[in-house]
Structure 1
Amino acid sequence: MSQESTKAMIAEVFSDIAQGIKSGQFKKKVRIGLTILGSEHGVDEMIKAARLAKMKYDDFEIVLIGQEVEGFESVVVESAEEGHKRMTTMLEAGEIDGCVTQHFDFPIGVSTVGRVITPGLGRELIIATTTGTTSTNRVEGMVKNAVSGIAVAKACGIENPTVGILNLDGARQVERILNDIKGNGYEINFSDSLRADGGAVMRGNDLLAGTPDVMVCDSLTGNLLIKIFSSFTTGGNYEISGSGYGPGIGEDYDKVVNIVSRASGAPLIAEALRYCATCTQNKVLDIARKEYKAANEAGLEAAIKKVTEKNNKSVAEEEVTAPPKKVVTYSIAGVDILELENACKCLWKQNIYSESGMGCTGPIILVAEEDGEAAKKVLIDSEFIA
């Protein structure tokens, strides 16, 4: 550590003591690392972000990992890869409490919960999730992303966050599973779409307006959304808005590592530091463990297994002959697109002619008017719709 870094650290200690005397209580500031090598915008952009965060916020310390920087405690490394190794070592040793970095490899079961500012109403929207893989099964992953998103929202001070499920493949199955565990005692507060048909399955309009506090999706979609929201005013190569891709959350994950992109600019990285500090101060990992424990006690794994096993035992693979064709004008919404073919053949087995289609809100089943109510009952009993 250089003489300048030592002086900066001593100055911060005395500042903490002075603030403690003034307030009557001493509270240790969390220490947040920032790896500064590897950005597409260069090291100076990362240092600019650190200076901006230091100017705006005084309740956490920033430790730079990369090169010596005047005014900051600094750890010198030779490459971005060495920076990641040093960051991990420092987290495990308790030398830093959290870290903001780029392009970090999380284990399966962990994915990041991002935060953006929506252009419609300027609301903060938590996107669960944006990088990493919570599960190799899409539906299971999105269900667990909801739990992770709720944990991060609570760490950010939202006591009873509203949850919406983005209208993607698997969304209706995710909704059914979450409703199952809600019915068994897990506290989840579903949002209602701003569109006239309402419901917890969110449309594109809800993304722009920031209708829920937490928007549930898969990581690839979330990654795309973060990039669009953060750089739509800059042409795409400079991410400026929001707080980045967020902390990696998993059922038993033990490190607060927040992700930014190599295309992220100083304003976003400064807010990512703030986001990381808030999550660290409010013990997001402890909250996540409590949320997963509550969800598991409400039958999370059994609810997921019921749906995924049903998908594996596909009706579509059976030899099912369609009943005589009818004019189909009665539409039934709410069937997940991944189950659309199975739902049709389930009706055929009950001698109800059906066809699949796509309405403006998503997949639909079409049957004759006179078969409408009977078809709905079959689909409800077979758990294709709620």
Structure 2
Amino acid sequence: MSKDNVNNLIGQVFSEIADAMESGSFGSRVKVGLTTLGSEHGVEELVKAAEMASNKYRDFEVVLIGPKVDTKLTVYEVSSEDEAHKVMEKLLDANEIQGCVTMHYNFPIGVSTVGRVITPAKGKEMILATTTGTSSTHRVEGMVKNAIYGIITAKACGIENPTVGILNVDGARQVERALKDLIAKGYEVNFTESVRADGGAVMRGNDLLTGTPDVMITDSLTGNILMKMFSSYTTGGSYEASGYGYGPGVGEGYGRLINIISRASGAPVICEALRYSATCAQNNIIEVSKNEFAKLYKAGLKDVLAKLTQASEKKETSSEEVVAPPKKVVTSSIAGIDILELEDAVKELWKKGVYSESGMGCTGPIVLIADDEADKAKEILTAAGYMS
């Protein structure tokens, strides 16, 4: 062996030792794939992102799945997006890579992606649960599952007891009640408080900007819009420049670590999406998910979700006509009723002889009642499950 080869080998060994010391592990590095076809910014942008990640982070290896390019990175050559996804799945299933970042991948129903953004007010990282995919065809059940997926992902990112908030969208109050049911049955959910004066676990726009919770729960469509706004509000929308992408697909029993980016994602986002995937692989998000679902089923998740769907089915099939009691002046209000249940809550009070009307306050839906019937109305609504 020549002197130059010996020197190169010694240099390589010392480099690997330095990488291991930096990452805190002397085992083999995880490999994260990146498919490079389909971006609006071209293959070059994705290769640039992969090389950025390789230079910035030394505790994981990036491999490319796409056309042949001039790079020192390993390339699995393919000529189409469909072929890239097939190769990606094959490599994941063979454990040749432990995670992958890609675009426009179709997850099965029950799996959705958990995004990660940097909020503008304080530069704080926040997890958005969820941003693509469909956790359930039932809206509220889907958002409860989104909460679970967000907690799982936060734990896979090293946050042992993540704070949780629920964005003030349709179904938020029902989600809050369902999660409180799980808490009462022994599953830990660490609710945070809104930065607004009235507090509570239901989050407002201010909480999005400040990153109040570690995990913000919402529906996937809203989460998708938020991801796009957080990632590209400084660029006009055509180039996503901030954050970690739309995140890993999470779902009960799902066994592949696949992170999603957008066709508009730029190199800075793709670089951090690779970091995000590597972190989830290093902390074994699939095992974290398995353990969390074991705890959830022990706490009665099946019954909590069944109660949500059964309540919806009951309302859809009910044809009962309810007549309002004699009209009264309504100057007292009750907040905390979900918008999807507001009219049903009003009719529940009518059934008990309490006149009420629906309204909308500055913080959300309200039920209006007479001052002298406020306490009675709260008792009725709590007993009927409209309030917690």
TM-score by length of 2: 0.94
Q: Tell me, in whole angstroms, the C-alpha distance in 1 between the residues paired with 2:168 and 2:50.
A: 37
**Aligned residues with identical type, % of pairs:** 60
Aligned to 1:343: 345
- 1:52/1:11 CA distance change after superposition, 3 Å: farther
Q: Deviations over 1:135-166 (max 9, x none)?
A: 11111111011111111111111111000000
Q: Tell me, in whole angstroms, the C-alpha distance in 2 between the residues paired with 1:30 and 1:221.
A: 32
Q: What's the secondary structure of 1:129's corresponding residue?
A: strand
**Which stretch has the larger CA shift, 207-216 or 84-93?**
84-93
What letter corresponds to residue 347 of structure 1 in structure 2? Answer: L
Aligned to 1:235: 236
Q: CA RMSD in A?
A: 1.9
**Which stretch has the larger CA shift, 300-309 or 283-292?**
300-309
> What is the CA-CA distance between 1:248 and the residue it aligns to?
0.4
Aligned to 1:257: 258
Q: Which consecutive residues of structure 1, in runs of 5 or more, have no partner in the other structure?
A: 1-9
Q: Tell me, in whole angstroms, the C-alpha distance in 1 between the residues paired with 2:112 and 2:199.
A: 28
Alignment of 1:96-111 (within 5 A): 96-111=97-112
> What is the CA-CA distance between 1:308 and the residue it aligns to?
2.3
Number of aligned positions between the proteins: 377
> What is the CA-CA distance between 1:21 and the residue it aligns to?
8.8
Q: Tell me, in whole angstroms, the C-alpha distance in 1 between the residues paired with 2:359 and 2:39.
A: 46
Q: Tell me, in whole angstroms, the C-alpha distance in 1 between the residues paired with 2:260 and 2:235.
A: 20
Aligned to 2:299: 298
> What is the CA-CA distance between 1:286 and the residue it aligns to?
0.7
> What is the CA-CA distance between 1:50 and the residue it aligns to?
0.7
- 1:12/1:268 CA distance change after superposition, 3 Å: farther
Q: Tell me, in whole angstroms, the C-alpha distance in 1 between the residues paired with 2:18 and 2:277.
A: 22
- 1:11/1:141 CA distance change after superposition, 3 Å: farther
What letter corresponds to residue 172 of structure 2 in structure 1? Answer: A
Aligned to 2:278: 277
1:311·1:339 contact (CA, 8 Å) conserved in 2? Answer: no
What letter corresponds to residue 59 of structure 1 in structure 2? Answer: D
Aligned to 1:61: 61
What letter corresponds to residue 234 of structure 1 in structure 2? Answer: T
1:114 aligns with 2:115: yes
> What is the CA-CA distance between 1:307 and the residue it aligns to?
2.6
Alignment of 1:161-200 (within 5 A): 161-200=162-201
- 1:268/1:343 CA distance change after superposition, 3 Å: same
What letter corresponds to residue 119 of structure 2 in structure 1? Answer: T
Q: Deviations over 1:275-297 (max 9, x none)?
A: 00000000011111111111111
What letter corresponds to residue 228 of structure 2 in structure 1? Answer: K
Q: What's the secondary structure of 1:314's corresponding residue?
A: helix
Q: Deviations over 1:63-113 (max 9, x none)?
A: 100022321011110111111111111111111110000010001110000
Q: What's the secondary structure of 1:358's corresponding residue?
A: strand
Q: Tell me, in whole angstroms, the C-alpha distance in 1 between the residues paired with 2:331 and 2:191.
A: 31
> What is the CA-CA distance between 1:303 and the residue it aligns to?
1.2
Alignment of 1:299-338 (within 5 A): 299-314=300-315, 317-338=319-340
Q: Tell me, in whole angstroms, the C-alpha distance in 2 between the residues paired with 1:176 and 1:322.
A: 27
Q: What's the secondary structure of 1:267's corresponding residue?
A: helix
- 1:310/1:11 CA distance change after superposition, 3 Å: farther
> What is the CA-CA distance between 1:12 and the residue it aligns to?
11
Aligned to 1:146: 147
TM-score by length of 1: 0.94
> What is the CA-CA distance between 1:254 and the residue it aligns to?
0.2
**Which stretch has the larger CA shift, 295-304 or 364-373?**
295-304
- 1:92/1:127 CA distance change after superposition, 3 Å: same
Aligned to 1:28: 28
Q: Which consecutive residues of structure 2, in runs of 5 or more, have no partner in the other structure?
A: 1-8
Q: Tell me, in whole angstroms, the C-alpha distance in 1 between the residues paired with 2:352 and 2:308.
A: 21
1:86 aligns with 2:87: yes
What letter corresponds to residue 177 of structure 2 in structure 1? Answer: R
